[in-house]
Amino acid sequence: MPHPVQLIQPRRFGDSRGWFTEVYSKPAFATLGIDCCFIQDNHSLSVPKYTLRGLHFQTPPRGQDKLVRCIRGAIFDVAVDLRKGSPTYGQWVGAELSAENGHQLFIPIGFAHGFVTLQDNCEVTYKCSDTYAPDSDGGVRWDDPSVGIDWPMPAGTAPELSAKDAVQPLLANFDSPFLYDGRPLAPLA
């Protein structure tokens, strides 16, 4: 049974001109146990280093699977388990995604997602399995001590946050509508 959150490392084919990579193929992703249908692509630019976006999710019936990649600069991308009954509830995994390494993170429904930029002028694109639905929009505090994400920022650094992200609730105040599917969160390969 595949892990719910997966680090995808697309192969790059290079020559004197540069390189080519296939970032998404429905049949290839199906072999990884990822069979969602992506219907929306998002693209963000974060100008200052240590801009933090998250931790975000959409609740049922408008939950979103996400496939995230950094196409300019570098980010530390995080997923937090929000599935009620999960033995890994409230735990997180993270990975560096960069234009240089080409890695992607698949984050299924039932996980909060967020990232912090590690360089100035980072661009991030991500595919979503549903469109944005304001009535289903939710979040958890980026610095929730019960989650304890080890954001790679120098001690004492205050990240750039949106007004919304600065006041997200703590995980303890969230009644999760997401159900555990039998796949515990595992370290990323």
The backbone torsions φ and ψ at residue 57, rounded to the nearest 5 degrees and listed phi first, read -165, 170
Task: Report the length, in residues, of the chain.
Answer: 189
> What's the rounded Cα separation, in Å, for the pair 166 and 159?
10
Q: Which of 50, 113, 126, 180 is catalytic?
A: 126
Q: What is the side-by-side order of every strand in the sheet holding 52-58?
A: 92-98, 74-81, 111-117, 52-58, 137-139
3-state secondary structure of 11: coil
Known catalytic residue: 126? Answer: yes
Cβ 41 vs Cβ 104: under 8 Å: no
Q: What does the block give as tokens for 100?
A: 């240089």
Known catalytic residue: 56? Answer: yes
Q: Which of 3, 50, 56, 180 is catalytic?
A: 56
> What's the rounded Cα separation, in Å, for the pair 50 and 17?
33
Cβ 120 vs Cβ 95: under 8 Å: no
- Return the DSSP state at 179: B
Q: Enumerate residues 6+ apart whose C-beta is below 8 A from 15.
A: none
Q: Show which residues are catalytic.
A: 56, 126
